[in-house]
Structure 1
């Protein structure tokens, strides 16, 4: 019984590590297509709203992987993406 609990904990930890590695890979890919200002905004977003940051980075990485992104995303474009993902301004406010 005790061995089963240890195995379950090991599997859970492995899944968490794999998930974090996947997010890191997406982030590294997406950051290549962000301007310096957009990367700064993303970093702030990641601290304040980690789940939203994962959604944004996933969306950008998906756009890159499907060859739909032709140029880097600047800060204004990044803010527009945020507003599209979470349009309720009372919950989330973009400050310049």
Structure 2
């Protein structure tokens, strides 16, 4: 009884994985090209990261993928122009603060 239930659960999970893989396989060519460009940027920039900066980049990439791409583009330009050879955590923090728009402070006034 228990083995048949386990087999049934495995079959459902396997079918679910197959559906996910087929759905991912149907990405548009533009998305594939974009993913390839991001991978190229990462392969160029990641060797310049220190361990702490690499950890921070991984966190940013997980939480804010668009911001991670912005960071990659800026750092790739800096590395190509020779302005930066190594990216440490402090440099990455400074870059992130510059890329983040400033928040407006709102004040509530009584009438």
* TM-score bracket, shorter-length normalisation: 0.7 to 0.9
Q: 2:88 aligns with which of 57, 70, 74?
A: 74
Residue 53 of structure 1 corresponds to: 68
What CA deviation, in whole Å up to 9, does each residue of 1:42-79 have, x standing for no partner?
0000010000000001100111112222x311111110
Aligned length: 79
The two structures have a TM-score, normalised by structure 2, of 0.64
Structure 2 SS opposite 1:31: helix
Which structure has the higher relative contact order (CA within 8 Å, separation 6+)?
1
Residue 93 of structure 1 corresponds to: none
Q: Could you list the runs of 5+ residues in structure 1 that have no partner in the other structure?
A: 1-9, 91-96
Q: 2:102 aligns with which of 58, 74, 88?
A: 88
Q: Rg: which structure is higher?
A: 2
Q: How far 1:87 sits from its partner (Å)?
A: 4.4
The two structures have a TM-score, normalised by structure 1, of 0.74
Runs of 4+ in structure 1 off by over 4 angstroms are none
